[in-house]
Amino acid sequence: MVKILILVNGGVFLAQIVAGRSLLLPFGLDTSHPFQIWRYVTYMFLHGGPFHLLFNMFALWIFGSDLEDYFGGRKFLQYYFFTGIGAGLTVATLDLLTGQRSFVIGASGAVFGLLLAFGIIYAERTITMLLFFFLPVTMKAKHFVILFGAVEFFFGVSPGSSGIAHFAHLGGMVFGLIYLKTPVGTLSWKGPGVLKSLQRRIKAGRSAHDDRRMDDLLRKVNDQGIQSLTEEEKQFLHRMSRSKRWQ
């Protein structure tokens, strides 16, 4: 999947060279059109120049290769798009709240999502980076992630931003954390499987809640008698007694 993503991004960039702005305008993430939902996917494959593309593809290769081995191809792709789309939604939401407008392109949001996952999954692995492009600095992956997150937040809230979508980067990291640390990442994402997985989880949670309530009412009957139950509680016991789970 990493190789496919790199090839697709490279192919789209070649198309950009030929088509110019006619490709950027309808497919970049323009937050003045927040409900044109295709933009939240297509913006990830557009880049502002060769160095923008090379930096993102290099990071995708460096961090994505190990993560694809860890997740497997399908789940890696799910994670990549989840964080990339989440990064776009972050920018669009902030712009909606502040009355601003942004035009965002690039895979950086998804790449920062990969960085977050790498820092959590391979927390103790050491990474060497070139500070100011010539000074090598070595640190653990978890510290690398914290440093980059702090830098992005600092520049994001600083006035006179350089035109880089810092909150898209942070959004990618936040959505990466959501995917890894909540049940979202355990859902089946194959077609309608997402809905089925959610339904199973809701049903399981409802069943556990009903079981606890059943136990509480049975204790209440044992301690205070059947006359202590309200009409609604009696109906609940009657409904549960007819359930296959309790037969």
Structure tokens at 87: 């990064």
Burial of 163 (0-12, 13-18, 19+ CB in 10 A): exposed
Residue 244 has a pLDDT of: 45
Q: Judge contact between 174 and 86, C-beta under 8 A.
A: yes
Which tokens hold the place of 41?
Answer: 């996917």
Task: Kindly list the catalytic residues.
Answer: 108, 166
Average pLDDT over residues 216-220: 83
Q: What is the pLDDT of residue 211?
A: 77
pLDDT > 90: percent of the chain:
23
Model's pTM, two decimal places?
0.69
Domain borders along the chain are 2-186, 194-246
Distance between CA atoms of residues 115 and 60, nearest Å: 9
pLDDT over threshold 70, residue 196: no
H runs (alpha helix) in the chain: 2-19, 21-27, 39-42, 50-71, 73-98, 108-121, 141-157, 166-181, 193-224, 231-241
Confidence class of residue 187 from pLDDT cuts 50, 70 and 90? low
Q: What is the mean pLDDT of the chain?
A: 80
Is residue 39 within 8 A of residue 28, CB to CB? The reply is yes
Per-residue pLDDT at 192 exceeds 90: no
Instruction: Please report which confidence band the pLDDT of residue 130 belongs to, taking 50, 70 and 90 as the band edges.
Output: low
Superfamily of domain 2-186: Rhomboid-like (1.20.1540.10)
In this prediction, residue 163 carries a pLDDT of: 53
- What was the pLDDT predicted at 136? 74
Structure confidence at residue 15 as a pLDDT band (50, 70, 90): very high
What's the pLDDT score for residue 36?
A: 92
What per-residue confidence (pLDDT) applies to 83?
93
The answer, yes or no, to whether residue 247 has pLDDT greater than 50, is no
Residues 115 and 63: beta-carbon distance below 8 Å: yes
- What residues contact residue 100 under an 8 Å CB cut-off, 6+ apart? 31, 94
Per-residue pLDDT tens digits for 47-94: 888 988 998 899 899 889 999 998 888 899 999 999 999 999 998 998
